[in-house]
Structure 1
Amino acid sequence: MPSLTAACATPGMRRLRILPACLHEYRGFSALRPWRRPDAVLGWGRKPTALKARRFAARHAIPYVALEDGFLRSWGLGVDGHQPHSLVVDHRGIYYDATRPSDLERLIHAAPFAAEELARARRCMALIREYRLSKYNHAPARALPAGDRPRVLVVDQTAGDASIEFGLAAAATFEAMLQAALAEHPEADILVKVHPDVVAGKKRGHLLEAARHHPRCRLVGEALAPWSLLDAVDSVHVVTSQLGFEALLAGRRVVCHGMPFYAGWGLTDDRLTCPRRGRPRRLEEVFAAAYLRYCRYANPYTGEPSTLEATIDLIADQKRRHAQLAGDWVGIGFSSWKRRFVGDFLGARARLQHVARPDDAPPTAGIRRLVWSSHHQALEALERQPPAAPLWRMEDGFIRSVGLGVDLVRPLSLIIDASGIHYDPRRASDLERLLNDTTFSPHLLDRARRLRQRIVSAGLNKYNVGTPAAGLDLPEQHRILLVVGQVESDASVRCAAPEIATNAELLRRVRAAHPEAYILYKPHPDVVSGARLGQLDTEARRLYNRLITDISITALLERVDDVHTMSSLAGFEALLRGRRVTAWGTPFYAGWGLTRDHGRHCPRRARRLTLDELVAGCLILYPTYLDPRSRRLINVETAVGLLEQQRRTTRALPLPQRLYRGYRHLFIERH
Structure 2
Amino acid sequence: MVTHPIFLRSPPFPGVAVSVAAVSAAAESAPVGDSVLDAVADARVGGAFWGDRPERITIVVRAGVTVSAERLSGVDSDRIGIVGDMPSMVQGRRLRDPVDPWHLIAGADAVHADIEDELAIVAGLLGVAVFDGQGRAVPTDRLRHAARARIGMARYRDCFTDRDVPVAQAIERLGEWRRHLDGNRGIAAASGMAFWKRDMMRQFLWDGLRAPSFLPPEKGLRSAQESGRALAIWPSRVPASTTHDAERMHVPICRVEDGFLRSNGLGAGLHPPSSVVIDHAGIYYNACAPSDLEHVLATHPFPPALVDRAKRLRAAISEAGVTKYGIEAGRMIDLPAGRRTVLAVGQVDDDMSVRLGGAGVEGNLDFLSRVRRSEPDAWIIYRPHPDVQAGHRRGHLSDAAILSHADAIDSGAPLMAMVQAVDDVHVLSSLTGFEALVRGQSVTVHGMPFYAGWGLTRDLAEPTGRRGRRLTVDQLVAGTLILYPRYIDPVTRLPCGPELMVDRMASASTPNLTWLIRARAAQGKLRRFMTLCAEFLHD
Q: Classify 1:583/1:329 alpha carbon distance in 2 versus 1 (closer, same or farther; 3 Å).
A: same
Return the offset for 1:395.
Answer: 1.9
* Distance (whole Å) between structure 1 residues aligned to residue 162 and residue 62 of structure 2: 35
Among candidates 68, 72, 75, match of residue 11 of structure 2? 75
Aligned equivalent of 2:372? 511
Aligned equivalent of 1:326? 185
Among candidates 565, 568, 584, match of residue 427 of structure 2? 565
What residue ranges of structure 1 are gaps of 5+ in the alignment? 1-45, 48-67, 96-103, 109-117, 158-173, 199-203, 213-217, 271-281
Structure 1 residue 529 corresponds to structure 2 residue 390: yes
Q: Classify 1:408/1:69 alpha carbon distance in 2 versus 1 (closer, same or farther; 3 Å).
A: farther
CA contact (8 A) 2:49 2:99 kept: no
Structure 1 residue 547 corresponds to structure 2 residue 409: yes
The AA in structure 2 aligned to 1:225 is D
Q: Classify 1:219/1:573 alpha carbon distance in 2 versus 1 (closer, same or farther; 3 Å).
A: same
Aligned equivalent of 1:345? 204
TM-score of the superposed pair, with normalisation by structure 2: 0.78
CA contact (8 A) 1:299 1:305 kept: no
Q: Classify 1:70/1:363 alpha carbon distance in 2 versus 1 (closer, same or farther; 3 Å).
A: closer
CA contact (8 A) 1:86 1:296 kept: yes
Aligned equivalent of 1:617? 479
The AA in structure 2 aligned to 1:238 is D
CA contact (8 A) 2:321 2:506 kept: no
Aligned equivalent of 1:136? 48
Return the offset for 1:138.
Answer: 0.6
Return the offset for 1:468.
Answer: 5.9
Q: Classify 1:522/1:606 alpha carbon distance in 2 versus 1 (closer, same or farther; 3 Å).
A: same
| Deviation by residue 1:214-272 (Cα, 9 ceiling, x = unmatched) | xxxx77744542223146458886332345554554456778899xxxx9xx98348xx
| Deviation by residue 1:328-383 (Cα, 9 ceiling, x = unmatched) | 5344455443445434432144553444564885376235334322236x123552
Name which one, 1 or 2, has greater alpha-carbon Rg. 1
Structure 1 residue 195 corresponds to structure 2 residue 83: yes
Among candidates 461, 470, 490, match of residue 599 of structure 1? 461
Q: Classify 1:326/1:649 alpha carbon distance in 2 versus 1 (closer, same or farther; 3 Å).
A: closer
Q: Please say which of residues 475-484 and 423-432 is displaced more in the overlay.
A: 475-484
The AA in structure 1 aligned to 2:316 is R
CA contact (8 A) 1:347 1:632 kept: no
Give the superposed CA RMSD: 4.5
Aligned equivalent of 1:362? 222
* Distance (whole Å) between structure 1 residues aligned to residue 254 and residue 498 of structure 2: 22
Return the offset for 1:603.
Answer: 1.3
What residue ranges of structure 2 are gaps of 5+ in the alignment? 535-539
Aligned equivalent of 1:426? 288
Q: Classify 1:402/1:303 alpha carbon distance in 2 versus 1 (closer, same or farther; 3 Å).
A: farther
The AA in structure 2 aligned to 1:319 is R
**SS in structure 2 at match of 1:387:** helix
* Distance (whole Å) between structure 2 residues aligned to residue 187 and residue 369 of structure 1: 41
The AA in structure 2 aligned to 1:74 is S
Identity %: 30
Q: Classify 1:221/1:394 alpha carbon distance in 2 versus 1 (closer, same or farther; 3 Å).
A: closer
* Distance (whole Å) between structure 2 residues aligned to residue 482 and residue 367 of structure 1: 45
Which runs of structure 2 are paired with 1:200-349 in the superposition (5 Å)?
204=86, 208-209=88-89, 211-212=90-91, 221-222=95-96, 223-228=98-103, 229-230=105-106, 232-233=108-109, 238-250=114-126, 268-269=141-142, 295-300=155-160, 308=167, 310-327=169-186, 329-348=188-207, 349=209
**SS in structure 2 at match of 1:406:** coil
Aligned equivalent of 1:87? 24
The AA in structure 2 aligned to 1:599 is A
Q: How many pairs were matched up?
A: 519
TM-score of the superposed pair, with normalisation by structure 1: 0.64
Q: Classify 1:308/1:467 alpha carbon distance in 2 versus 1 (closer, same or farther; 3 Å).
A: farther
**Higher relative contact order at CA 8 Å, sep ≥6: structure 1 or structure 2?**
2
CA contact (8 A) 1:156 1:192 kept: no
**SS in structure 2 at match of 1:362:** helix
Aligned equivalent of 1:396? 258
The AA in structure 2 aligned to 1:603 is G
Structure 1 residue 494 corresponds to structure 2 residue 369: no
Aligned equivalent of 1:383? 244
Aligned equivalent of 2:537? none
Q: Please say which of residues 433-442 and 130-139 is displaced more in the overlay.
A: 433-442
